[in-house]
Chains A and B, each alone.
Chain A
Amino acid sequence: MQFAINISYIAAAILFIFGIKMLGSAATAVKGNRISSLGMLIAVVVTLARSGLGYEWIAAGVLCGAVIGFITAKRVQMTGMPELVALFNGFGGLASLLVGWAEYERIKSVSWSSYLGEDPEIGPWFSAIVIALAILIGGITFTGSIVAYLKLSGKIGGTATVFPGQKAINALVMLGLVAAGVLFSINAEGVNAPTLFLVVVGLSLLIGVLGVIPIGGGDMPVVIALLNSFSGLAAAAAGFVISNTVLVVAGCLVGASGLILTMIMCKAMNRTLGNVLFGGFGAASGSGGQQVEGEMKGVSVEDAYYVLEAAQSVVFVPGYGMAVAQAQHAVKELAEILERNGAEVRHAVHPVAGRMPGHMNVLLAEADVPYEQLCEMDDVNAIMSTVDVAIVIGANDVVNPSAIDDESSPIYGMPIINVHQAKTVFALKRGQGAGFSGLVNTLFFRDNCRMIYGDAKSTVSGLVSQFDD
């Protein structure tokens, strides 16, 4: 029986590998996700075939989880996707933590000597280390994701929270965590081990909170991708705890893919991971950067209509503001009208626009924007000088020319969408305040830029009705 179970685990691992590979290409992604879910089903079913399992607890647990997961997945709005991904991530991390903890409780109840068997090849330290690792990574993933969830859903402020001595405190907590983990591992059979274990649990949960609160909303794509990676590593650590290959393989695959996404996001911001995690970026308001001469020039929806009406080439640049205003359907409508009017329409998506990797693509896909109209940053920058009108919808730092021409700017060097090269720029914005990073956007002061203040959705709808008249 054990042999059949292990063979099935291999089959499940193969399905996960194919699933992830197919998720990387638009043509095969749907199938890839289903193949990987089939792998999960196989892994679950064969696990149930293990001897000596009581099914009452299992049935209750699976039923509860499935109902909650089903309802949440059905009801979520596409605009709520970043926080949902963060939340699921956190649940996965906590589950791995609890698996490690449950195994430790089981070891305590049967005693280490009978758990490891007669004359074990490796002492209790290895099991203790991997349990501590599952707790540590799982705990950080859980509370880190919960903080990210609270920030993304607006339940707490999205800006970076920094306080004096923060780095020192974080370093101390981390040091304490490592020390407790090491002491626990080298003396897992000692009388102090259960206390040290609880210290590891507590500090892991604490470090997740402390680690994410100093990270601002605009850096969330990096954090979400990194936490995604951690949730995989936590599962892999849990796999070491219970000596289960499929957990190790699947967890490690997720860990690797999450890490790659993290690196892609960092590259798109021209920052190192260390700078994102420890920089406290966006906490200080208006720090750095040059003073800007001139003023922002507003324009009415009606005047904007006349410019758009004559435009031959239009580029939309969506940002987090589009998500907040839920303006994606109105944008799609305006894009259609402009096309009928003879203009060439593109949507330029910056890799870190929004609050999670690929955030804008999800929203535009929801609004049925044709795939051919979606452009990546480099392609659209090449033709930007031929563009008549660039419409910036709630995007800020990803179109800030300071990244190119102001060496003192904190975002200097970050690749941006060069909308300032377009003939005319309309920037849709709620008010005159700075963006999440607190940086002044010099784009708004340029001669070819006009601000349209107000809610993005009603502005875009206003433009649509101008065309209708």
Chain B
Amino acid sequence: MELILLLFTFILAAFLGFELVSKVPSQLHTPLMSGSNAISGITIVGALIAAGQADGNLSTWLGFAALVLATINVVGGYMVTDRMLSMFKAKKTD
């Protein structure tokens, strides 16, 4: 049952996603891409769980590597997007 619910959620989220970004000005294409790329770092949640089951075997090491990469994705992704967007914003207040 849980799996069916997950599938259901997935499909609704897909439709929602298409509705959300159907019309984006081209000026914002890069920030949208790098901002949504940071969101895809949500896999960090899975990495935390995997790395946290610290029994020191292969699974933990894989989780640890996943955690490092996902954190780079999240932290770097959000910061870079913010930097880019603040440039757009700065010139609008002129």
Bound together:
yes
**Residues in A lying within 8 Å of B, measured CB to CB:** 16-17, 19-21, 23-26, 29-30, 32-34, 36-37, 40, 43-44, 47-48, 50, 52-58, 60-62, 64-66, 68-70, 72-74, 76, 78, 81, 84-85, 88-89, 91-92, 94-96, 98-99, 101-103, 105-106, 109, 121-122, 126, 224-225, 228, 231-232, 234-236, 238-261, 264, 349, 351, 356-359, 361-362, 365-366, 368-371, 374, 376
Separation in Å of the A234 CB from the closest CB of chain B? 7
Q: Given A73-B80, A225-B33, A361-B30, are A95 and B13 neighbors across the interface (CB < 8 Å)? A: no
Asked whether B43 lies within 8 Å of A33 as measured between CB atoms, the reply is no
- Cα-based distance from A33 to B66 in the complex (angstroms): 23
Q: Given A57-B52, A358-B27, A366-B87, are A228 and B33 neighbors across the interface (CB < 8 Å)? A: yes
Q: Given A57-B64, A122-B3, are A73 and B76 neighbors across the interface (CB < 8 Å)? A: yes
Question: B residues within 8 A CB of A34?
Answer: 82
Asked whether B77 lies within 8 Å of A88 as measured between CB atoms, the reply is yes
Specify which of B26, B35, B76, B92 is in contact with A349 (CB 8 Å cutoff).
Answer: B26
Asked whether A69 lies within 8 Å of B79 as measured between CB atoms, the reply is yes
- Cα-based distance from A34 to B77 in the complex (angstroms): 12
Asked whether B64 lies within 8 Å of A33 as measured between CB atoms, the reply is no
Asked whether A26 lies within 8 Å of B28 as measured between CB atoms, the reply is yes
- Cα-based distance from A236 to B10 in the complex (angstroms): 8
Q: Given A245-B6, A351-B26, are A102 and B39 neighbors across the interface (CB < 8 Å)? A: no
Q: What are 12 residue pairs bridging A and B, where the CB atoms are less than 8 Å apart in the complex?
A: A24-B28, A57-B67, A65-B69, A88-B73, A92-B43, A92-B73, A98-B47, A98-B50, A228-B33, A234-B43, A255-B14, A259-B18
Given A44-B48, A365-B91, 8 extra CB contacts under 8 A: A58-B52, A61-B47, A72-B76, A92-B73, A96-B66, A98-B69, A228-B33, A239-B46
Q: Given A26-B25, A66-B71, A231-B40, are A258 and B20 neighbors across the interface (CB < 8 Å)? A: no
Asked whether A253 lies within 8 Å of B13 as measured between CB atoms, the reply is yes
Asked whether A23 lies within 8 Å of B32 as measured between CB atoms, the reply is yes
Asked whether A105 lies within 8 Å of B6 as measured between CB atoms, the reply is no
Asked whether A69 lies within 8 Å of B72 as measured between CB atoms, the reply is yes
**Residues in B lying within 8 Å of A, measured CB to CB:** 1-3, 6, 9-10, 13-18, 20-54, 57-60, 62-92, 94
Of residues A43, A105, A365, which shows the largest number of chain B Cβ atoms within 10 Å of its Cβ? A365
Specify which of B16, B72, B85 is in contact with A30 (CB 8 Å cutoff).
Answer: B85
Asked whether A240 lies within 8 Å of B6 as measured between CB atoms, the reply is yes
Asked whether B51 lies within 8 Å of A57 as measured between CB atoms, the reply is yes
Asked whether B92 lies within 8 Å of A261 as measured between CB atoms, the reply is no
Asked whether A254 lies within 8 Å of B39 as measured between CB atoms, the reply is yes
Q: Given A62-B71, A65-B67, A92-B40, are A44 and B2 neighbors across the interface (CB < 8 Å)? A: no
- Cα-based distance from A469 to B80 in the complex (angstroms): 40
Please list the 9 inter-chain residue pairs (A to B) with the smallest Cβ-Cβ separation, ordered nearest first.
A65-B71, A256-B17, A358-B29, A53-B52, A54-B54, A69-B75, A61-B67, A69-B76, A357-B29
Separation in Å of the A102 CB from the closest CB of chain B? 4
* A-B CB contacts (within 8 Å), total count: 383
Say what secondary structure dominates the interface of chain A. Answer: helix
- Cα-based distance from A105 to B48 in the complex (angstroms): 16
Asked whether B33 lies within 8 Å of A85 as measured between CB atoms, the reply is yes
Question: B residues within 8 A CB of A60?
Answer: 64
Please give me the residue from chain A that is nearest to B32 by CB atom: A23
Of residues B37, B58, B62, B92, which shows the largest number of chain A Cβ atoms within 10 Å of its Cβ? B37
- Cα-based distance from A441 to B23 in the complex (angstroms): 32
Specify which of B9, B24, B70, B73 is in contact with A245 (CB 8 Å cutoff).
Answer: B9
Please give me the residue from chain B that is nearest to A85 by CB atom: B34
Asked whether B13 lies within 8 Å of A85 as measured between CB atoms, the reply is no
Asked whether A47 lies within 8 Å of B79 as measured between CB atoms, the reply is no
- Cα-based distance from A56 to B63 in the complex (angstroms): 13
Asked whether B27 lies within 8 Å of A73 as measured between CB atoms, the reply is no
Q: Given A56-B54, A101-B62, A261-B33, are A244 and B76 neighbors across the interface (CB < 8 Å)? A: no
Asked whether A26 lies within 8 Å of B9 as measured between CB atoms, the reply is no
Separation in Å of the B61 CB from the closest CB of chain A? 8
Question: B residues within 8 A CB of A19?
Answer: 35, 39
